[in-house]
């Protein structure tokens, strides 16, 4: 049964009567909330899962896509307000990791830091991109880039009508991803759990491990087999690692000496 969504920005997939925690999942470029649908069965009975749905896809396909991370974060903060002081766990993959991190920063600035930030398949925010920005590519070169990444189904790439519909949203997401960078960020007072694919050429293990330089509370790195979209094959393992990290670090934070 589909859970009622508190906002068009947040999609729930399983109703939880009295959740103790909320896991907020941020999708990668070009994806919608549905990529996290199956995660709802893995998070446990006391955890609510809410997946971020950006404009320009799924139920919001008629809305113009956004190109700036700060616009997304502002809307997400508003969408999260009805949750009150329930502990938040933020997870994001690729572009989603950058958005989850920016949301964590904004929550810290408001005095309500998340309990855990989990980032996946994304270089640390202070590291520059190793590739040329995608906004300068023509449609053919942009499609080639999508093929190399491997996240877009071949049948979609082969359909000119679908690609014509999706290209504005995809390009907006890549502009947002390419433009996200922080020079010398201060330590974030939130535990960070990072996931890296050992065959991921988009975000190498070394680039993902550099998130430790941003972590001001605790840090752990989990390497998994696979390329850039390892999160699909390793969903259950990733969810279990997130749950374990949240449990262990919350015990440490609440321990009285």
Model pLDDT for residues 116-170, shown as the tens digit of each residue: 999 999 999 999 988 878 877 888 888 888 877 776 777 777 777 888 888 899 9
Which residues, at least 6 apart from 45, have a Cβ–Cβ distance to it below 8 Å? 16
Examine residue 5 and state whether it is found in any structural domain, yes or no. Answer: no
Examine residue 4 and state whether it is found in any structural domain, yes or no. Answer: no
pLDDT at 84 over 80: yes
CA distances from 245 to 44, 71, 86, 120, 221 (A): 14, 30, 17, 14, 11
Examine residue 32 and state whether it is found in any structural domain, yes or no. Answer: yes
Examine residue 244 and state whether it is found in any structural domain, yes or no. Answer: yes
**From 7, 17, 94, 250, active-site residue:** 94
Examine residue 1 and state whether it is found in any structural domain, yes or no. Answer: no
CATH number at residue 235: 3.40.50.1820
Examine residue 120 and state whether it is found in any structural domain, yes or no. Answer: yes
Q: Say how far apart CA 120 and CA 194 lie, in whole Å.
A: 6
> What pLDDT sits at residue 256?
35
Instruction: Report the predicted TM-score, pTM, of the whole model to 2 decimal places.
Output: 0.93
**Domain count for the chain:** 1
Question: Who has greater pLDDT, 163 or 21?
Answer: 21
Active site residue 94: yes
Q: Calculate what percentage of the chain has a pLDDT beyond 70.
A: 95
Cβ–Cβ under 8 Å, residues 51 and 33: yes
Examine residue 118 and state whether it is found in any structural domain, yes or no. Answer: yes
Examine residue 3 and state whether it is found in any structural domain, yes or no. Answer: no
Give the H or E element holding residue 223. strand 219-224
Q: What is the pLDDT of residues 201-247, one digit of tens each?
A: 999 999 999 999 999 999 999 999 999 999 999 999 999 999 999 98
Domain that holds residue 19: 10-254
């Amino acid at each position: 049964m589909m859970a009622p969504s508190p906002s068009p920005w947040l999609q729930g997939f399983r109703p939880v009567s009295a959740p103790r925690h909320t896991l907020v999942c941020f999708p990668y470029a070009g994806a919608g909330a549905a990529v996290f649908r199956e995660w709802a069965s893995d998070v446990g009975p006391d955890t609510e899962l809410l997946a971020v749905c950006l404009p320009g896809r799924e139920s919001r396909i008629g809305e113009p896509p956004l190109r700036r991370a700060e616009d997304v974060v502002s809307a997400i903060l508003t969408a999260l307000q009805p949750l009150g002081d329930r502990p938040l766990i933020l997870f994001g993959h690729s572009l989603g990791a950058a958005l989850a991190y920016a949301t964590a920063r904004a929550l810290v600035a408001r005095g309500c830091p998340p309990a855990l930030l989990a980032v996946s398949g994304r270089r640390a925010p202070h590291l520059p991109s190793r590739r040329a920005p995608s906004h300068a590519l023509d449609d053919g070169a942009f499609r080639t880039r999508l093929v190399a990444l491997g996240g877009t189904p071949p049948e979609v790439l082969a359909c000119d009508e679908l690609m014509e519909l999706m290209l504005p949203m995809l390009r907006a997401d890549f502009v947002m991803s390419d433009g996200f960078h922080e020079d010398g960020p201060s330590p974030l007072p939130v535990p960070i759990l990072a996931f890296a694919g050992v065959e991921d050429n988009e975000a190498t293990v070394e680039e993902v491990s550099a998130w430790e330089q941003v972590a001001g509370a605790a840090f752990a790195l989990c390497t998994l087999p696979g390329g850039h979209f390892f999160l699909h094959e390793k969903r259950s393992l990733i969810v279990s690692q997130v749950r374990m990290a949240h449990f262990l670090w919350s015990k440490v934070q609440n321990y009285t000496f």
